[in-house]
Amino acid sequence: MTHNDTYSSISQQPCIILCTTNSQESAIKISQHLLNNRLAACVSLLPEIISLYLWKGNITQDKEILLLIKTTQENQLALFKAIKDIHPYETPELIRLDPSQVEDNYLQWLLNSVR
């Protein structure tokens, strides 16, 4: 069974945060920091993506690690701040995705894993 946008409160609304960084070392440091502080239940690392983006008027291409951070909407602001405090980028990518359906057992585990 899954939930369909019917979470009882914002504290129970799961979300996925997308964040990129420049190295596996940085990705692991960020992930461990979020998990140790119970701001995330799980962080999946997708290695060596290639990002092309505009930065200071130029097209830039870099190899990056993509972090898929599973958390709740309630933790979003604290999580964003925690990442900004230790992230090597001047402007880290921080994008929240709101899933419309999450399997019940996974949702319960996620909620029990974060503060």
Rounded to the nearest 10°, the torsion over CA 77, 41, 115, 15 is: 40
Residue 12 lies in a domain: no
pLDDT at 10: 62
Residue 109 lies in a domain: no
Residue 10 lies in a domain: no
pLDDT at 40: 98
By residue range, what is the domain housing residue 88?
A: 21-102
Residue 108 lies in a domain: no
CATH code for the domain of 85: 3.30.70.120
Which residues in the chain land under pLDDT 70?
Answer: 1-11
pLDDT at 43: 98
Residue 43 lies in a domain: yes
Number of domains the chain is built from: 1
Residue 95 lies in a domain: yes
pTM of the model: 0.89
